[in-house]
Structure 1
Amino acid sequence: MKTPPINRSLGIFPKSWSEESAGRIPGNIPIWVGILSELTEFALFFVAYFIAKFYYPDIFSQGPQNLHTSLGVTNTVVLLTSSYFMAKAMSFIRINDKIKCERYLWLAFSCGCIYLIIKTWEFHWNTLQGFSANTNEFFTVYYYMTFNHFIHVGWASCALLWVIFRLRSGAYSAQENSGLEALAVYWHMIDLMWILIFPLVYVLR
C-alpha cells in the first residue's frame, strides 16, 4: 500500500498522533465508569468534611496542627512526580519505545510504593501521638479520606505491575495502548484527589 503524496503547496501533511487524537477522550468506557463512581465517592467525603467543619469549627481549626505536615508535603511531591513519570511512559509507548516506557512505569510504581510507606509511617506516628479515628470529628474525617485514598494508591500500584507484565509480553505498542492509557488516566485521577485532600486536612484552618 503506497503512502499518499503530500501536497505541500496546499499545506496538506500527514496527521500526527496529536492531530488524530484531538477531541478523543483518553482511556476507555469501563475506566471512566470506574473513575466517575470513585469521584462520586470522594465528593461525598468532601461534603462530609465541610458539614463537619461547619458544626465543629474549633476542632477542625486545631486538627491540622496535630498532623505531621512535612510528611503530607513529601507525599504530595511524590505523587506529582509519579504523574510526570506516567505521562512520560505514555509518550514513549506512543513512539513505540517500550524500553523507556517500562523504565518510567517502574519509576511511577516506585513513587506509589514510597507514598504507601510514608503514609503508613504517618498513620503510625499519629498513633504514637495518641490520635486515631475516634479522637474527634476531624480525625474521623481525616482517616476516612486518607485511608480511602491509601487503598486506591495501593490498588493502582498493583495495576502498574500488571501493565508492566503486559508491556513485556507485547500487549502494548504505538498502535494499541488503550489498557496502559486507561491506567494512566486512573493514576492521574488519584493524584488529583490527593491535591484536593492535602489542603483540606493539612492546611485549611
Structure 2
Amino acid sequence: MRAHPVVGSVLPTPRDGRRLPGVEGVWAFVFADMTVFAVMFASFMIDRHENPALFEASRQALSLDFGAVNTLILLTSSMFVVLAIDALKHAHPRLAPVFFALALTCGLAFIVSKTLEYMAKFDAGISMLTNDFFMYYFIMTGMHLGHVVVGNVILAVLWFKSRSVSASGGNLTVYESGATYWHMVDLLWICLFPLLYLVR
C-alpha cells in the first residue's frame, strides 16, 4: 500500500506555489473595478488642475481625522484577514474565525465612521451638488462604501465557513478569493485618502 505524505496545513495549497490566490474570475473583477476607479481618479485630477482654488478650498472642508481613522481601520482589517488566511494555511483553524470576526468588526466600524462623516457634511449644508469637488467626493467614497458593505458580507460568510473548518481539509481558494476582494477595497481607500484629503 502506498504511503501518503503528511500535509502540514489545514487546507490544501498548490505544490508549485505559483498561482494567484483565489479564483481567476475575482482577479478579472478586481482589474475591471480598479480600471473604473483609475478613470475617475484621472478625471478628478484633470478637473482639479483646471480649478485648483475651488478644489483646495473644498479639500480643507474635509476632516483629516476621519480620513486617517478610516485608513487605520481598513489597514487593521486587512492585517486580520492576512492572519486568518495564515491560520488556515498553518493548521490553526480555531484562530481563523477569531481573525475574520475582528476584520468584520473593523469593516463595520468603517461604515459607522463614514456614515458619521457624511452626516457632518450634510449638517454643514454640503452635498454632491455643492461643487465639482464634492461631486467627486460623494461619488467615489460612496462607491467605495458600497464595496465595503459587500466586503463585510463576504467577511461574514468567511467567518461562518471558517468555524466549521477541520484539520481534515477544506478549500483555501474560497478564503483567498474573499481576501483578495477585501484587500482591493483597502487598496482603493489607500488611493482615495491622499487624493481627496491630502493632495494640495
TM value normalised by structure 2: 0.90
1:47 aligns with 2:45: no
CA contact (8 A) 2:93 2:165 kept: no
Between the aligned partners of 1:45 and 1:56, the Cα distance in structure 2 is 16
Call closer, same or farther: CA 1:138–1:185 in 2, change over 3 Å.
same
- Stretch of structure 1 that moved more, 174-183 or 76-85: 174-183
Aligned-pair CA distance for 1:149: 0.4
Whether the aligned pair in 2 keeps the contact of 1:163 and 1:180 (CA below 8 Å) is: yes
Tell me if 1:133 matches 2:134. Answer: no
Equivalent position amino acid for 1:2 in 2: A
- Give the direction of change, closer, same or farther, for the CA distance of 1:172–1:84 in structure 2 (3 Å limit): farther
Q: Any idea what the Cα deviations from partners look like across 1:110-150, whole Å, max 9, x if unmatched?
A: 00000000000000001111111010111011111111100
| Structure of larger gyration radius | 1
Of the two structures, which has the highest relative contact order with CA contacts closer than 8 Å and spacing of 6 or more?
2
2:112 corresponding residue in structure 1: 117
**Residue of structure 2 in register with 1:184 after alignment:** 179
The residue correspondences of 1:78-93 to structure 2 (distance < 5 A) are 78-93=73-88
* Structure 1 residues 18 and 172: CA distance shift in structure 2, 3 A: closer
Q: Which runs of 4+ in 1 moved over 4 A?
A: 14-19, 171-175
Specify the SS of the correspondent of 2:151. Answer: helix
CA contact (8 A) 1:149 1:190 kept: yes
RMSD: 2.4
Separation in structure 2 between the aligned mates of residue 56 and residue 183 of structure 1, nearest angstrom? 39
Q: Using the aligned pairs only, state the percent identity.
A: 33
Change in Cα spacing, 1:18 to 1:3, as seen in structure 2 (3 Å) is closer
Q: Tell me what 1:68 maps to.
A: 63
Segments of structure 1 that go 5 or more residues without pairing to the other structure are: 5-13
| Corresponding residue pairs, total | 196
Letter in 1 for 2:3: K
8 Å Cα contact 2:75-2:186 kept in structure 1 = yes
- CA distance in 1 between counterparts of 2:13 and 2:46 reads 43
Other-structure match for 1:7: none
Q: Secondary structure at the match of 2:171?
A: coil
Mapped partners of 1:53, 1:114: distance in 2 = 31
1:68 Cα deviation (Å)?
A: 1.2
Q: Report matched runs for 1:8-47 at 5 Å.
A: 20=15, 22-47=17-42
Distance 2:83 2:143 in 1: 27
Distance 1:174 1:81 in 2: 28
Question: Separation in 1 of the partners of 2:163 and 2:27?
Answer: 25
TM-score, normalised via structure 1 length = 0.88
Q: CA deviation at 1:60?
A: 1.1
Q: Does the CA-based 8 Å contact 1:98-1:167 persist in structure 2?
A: yes
- Alignment-mate amino acid for residue 54 of structure 2: I
Give the gaps of 5 or more residues in structure 2.
none
Q: Does 1:103 align with 2:103?
A: no
